[in-house]
Amino acid sequence: MSDPRPLATAQIDHTALAHNVSVVRSATDDTPIMAVVKADAYGHGELEISRSLLASGVRELGVCTVAEALRLRRGGITAPVLSWLNTIDADLVGAVQADVQVAVASPTMVSALVDAAGAAGRTAVVTVKFDSGLFRNGITADEWPEVLADLVRGERAGALRLHGMMTHFACADQPGDPSIERQAAEFAAAVARAREAGLDPQVLHAANSAATLTRPDLHLDMVRPGIALYGISPMPEVDDFDLRPVMRLSGRLVRVKKARAGERVSYGHTWTVPEDTVLGVVPLGYADGVRRGLSGRFHVRVAGADRPAVGRVCMDQFVVDLGADTTAVEGDEVVLFGDPRRGEPTAQRWADLLDTIGYEMVTGIGSRVTRRHTGGIDGR
Ligand SMILES: Cc1ncc(COP(=O)(O)O)c(C=O)c1O
C-alpha cells in the first residue's frame, strides 16, 4: 500500500503536462509529436506520463532501450514506440513481436533485425538513426552506402521495412550555430540516397525541444521533444516558452529544533548559527537528487516564504533555517522546487547554481521520492 503522507514527494502535474503539449502543438501547427519518455519519462514516471501524453494527442513515443519499450508494452501502451539505443544482443525478437520499432543505429543492427524478424515470424519495421554530425550513436555518412545495401536486401527478402529516418542535432539549443544547417543538409542528403536506392522512408524526424520551439523549417514529418513537455525550457537563457514545470519536489519537516547562536550545523560544521533561530530538518538528500554541490546555496519555500538551506546537504537530509519566529511544526511541507508562478524555486535555478541543465535535476530525483500524479486522465 502506498504511504498516504510520504516524507518526500515529487508531485507530477498532468494539467501542466497537457498545457506543455498544447505549447508544442501551437509551435508546430499540429505536426505529429513523438514524445520522448526515456529515463522513466525524465524521472516523472514512464507509464503515467505516456498514457497522459497519448490522451493529449501525442502520436508516438520514443525511448532509448528495448527494455524501456517493452515495459511500456507490458503497461498496456499500444501506440507506436521507437527505441534507439541498443546493442544487437538486446531482446530484438521480443521487440519485433511486441511491434516496437528498433532504430538501425549501427551497421550490425541490420542483420540482427533480419534474424529477429525471422525468429519472430514477422517483418521488422525500422527507423534509421542517421548520424549527421553529433557523433554519438547512429549511422555515419561513410557507413551509409553499405547499410543501404543491407536494408535493400532485407526489404527484398521481406524481413525488414524501412519506415522512418531520424537524426539528432548537437546544437539546436544554440540558435544560429552553423552545425544545425550542416546537419540538416547531411540528413537531407542521406534521405535522398535512400530514395535513389529504391527505399521509401515515410516519416522523417529531427527536431528535439529546442528545434521544435524555434525552427519550424526543421519539423519535417514529426517532432521529437522531451524536456519541453516536462515544462523545462531547452533554452532558458532565451525564453521560457510559456512552459509549466510538471514536477514539484517537496518534503515534510522531520524535526524542528531551536539552535543557539554559535552552534555549528551538519557535516563538516560549515555553517554556524549567527543568532538564535529555529532549524528544520528536511528528509531529502543527495541520494534523492538534492545535489551536495547545492550545500548552503539554495532556498526552499516554507509556508509561503523563502528560507535558506544551511550547511552541507547529506545523503538523506538537509537543514533549513526557519527563523526564530517560525510557526512551522514537524510534518509541515517544504517545497524544494516547483512552479515559479506560485513563487516556488525552480529546477532551472538549481541547474544554474550547479552550472548544468534542468534535465539533470529532474532525471536525478531518486526512486525513494514518491511520485504523486495529479490532474491526470483518470481524474486523480
Ligand atoms: C534522439 C533524441 N531525440 C530527442 C530527444 C529529446 O531531446 P529534448 O529533451 O532536448 O527535447 C533526445 C533526448 O536527449 C534524444 O536523445
Cα-to-centroid distance, 308 and ligand 1 (Å): 34
Domain with CATH 2.40.37.10 in the chain: 247-374
Sequential DSSP letters for 167-223: ---SSTTSTT-HHHHHHHHHHHHHHHHHHHTT----EEE---HHHHHH-GGG-TTBB
H-helix or E-strand spanning residue 372:
strand 370-374
SS3 113: helix
What's 60-221's CATH class?
alpha beta
Q: What pLDDT sits at residue 298?
A: 98
| Residue ranges, CATH 3.20.20.10, the chain | 60-221
Atom of ligand 1 nearest to the CA of 173: 10
List the catalytic residues. 38, 267
pTM, entire model: 0.97
Q: Which fold has domain 247-374?
A: Lyase, Ornithine Decarboxylase; Chain A, domain 1 (2.40.37)
Strands 160-166, 124-129: pairing is: parallel
Helix and strand numbers, DSSP H then E, in the chain: 11, 18
State which of 169, 224, 348 you would mutate to test the pocket of ligand 1, scoring each by most atoms of that ligand within 8 A of its C-beta: 224
The candidate with the shortest Cα–Cα distance to 313, out of 337, 331, 333, 293, is 293
Q: What is the pLDDT of residues 9-56, one digit of tens each?
A: 999 999 999 999 999 999 999 899 999 999 999 999 999 999 999 999
The rounded Å distance from CA 224 to ligand 1 centre is 7
For ligand 1, which residues put their CB under 6 angstroms from it? Answer: 36, 84, 168, 208-209, 224-228, 234
Q: Which tens digits make up the pLDDT trace of 237-268?
A: 999 999 999 999 999 999 999 999 999 999 99
- What one-character DSSP code corresponds to residue 304? T
**For residue 379, what pLDDT is reported?**
44
- The pLDDT of residue 377: 66
Q: How far is the centre of ligand 1, averaged over its atoms, from the C-alpha of 208 (Å)?
A: 5
Which portions of the chain are predicted below pLDDT 70? Answer: 1-2, 377-380
- The pLDDT assigned to 49 comes to 98
In the chain, pLDDT over 90 holds for what percent of residues?
Answer: 97
Q: Would strands 100-104 and 124-129 be described as parallel, antiparallel, or unpaired?
A: parallel
